[in-house]
Amino acid sequence: MASVAEDRPIGPLPDVPGQRYVSVYALHAGSVFLPDREVFDDSLDTDTGSKVPSFAFLIQHGQRGKLLFDLGLRKHGMGYPPAWNETLQTFTVDCPHDIVDILNGGDVAPSSINTIVYSHLHFDHVGDLSPFPSAELVALPRYPDSLWQEFPPHQKVRYIQFEDNVPPSRVVAPLGSFDRGLDFYGDGSLYLLDAPGHFPAISAPLLARENYDELDIARKTVDRLKAMHAVDNVVVILAHEKERLDEMPLFPTALDDWAVEEAQRKRG
**Cβ-based neighbours of 33, under 8 Å, separated by 6 or more:** 49, 50, 51, 52, 90, 91, 92
Question: Looking at the domain assignment, is residue 72 inside a domain?
Answer: yes
Closest CA to 50 of 69, 37, 68: 37
Question: Looking at the domain assignment, is residue 62 inside a domain?
Answer: yes
Question: Looking at the domain assignment, is residue 1 inside a domain?
Answer: no
pTM for the whole thing?
Answer: 0.86
Question: Looking at the domain assignment, is residue 138 inside a domain?
Answer: yes
Q: What pairs with residue 158 in β-bridges?
A: 138
- Give the residue numbers spanning the domain of 221: 19-267
Across 57-66, 93-102, 208-217, 219-228, least confident range? 208-217
Q: For position 146, what pLDDT does the model report?
A: 56
Closest CA to 128 of 105, 83, 95: 95
Question: Looking at the domain assignment, is residue 7 inside a domain?
Answer: no
Q: For position 44, what pLDDT does the model report?
A: 58
Question: Looking at the domain assignment, is residue 11 inside a domain?
Answer: no
CATH number, position 85:
3.60.15.10
Q: Is the pLDDT of residue 18 over 70?
A: yes
Question: Looking at the domain assignment, is residue 13 inside a domain?
Answer: no
Q: pLDDT tens, 106-130?
A: 999 999 999 999 998 889 999 999 9
Question: Rounded to the nearest 5°, which phi and psi values hold at 259?
Answer: -65, -40
Q: pLDDT tens, 188-208?
A: 999 999 887 653 333 434 444
Number of domains in the chain: 1
**Of the spans 24-38, 90-104, 192-206, which averages the highest pLDDT?**
90-104
Question: Looking at the domain assignment, is residue 4 inside a domain?
Answer: no
DSSP class of residue 250 equals: -
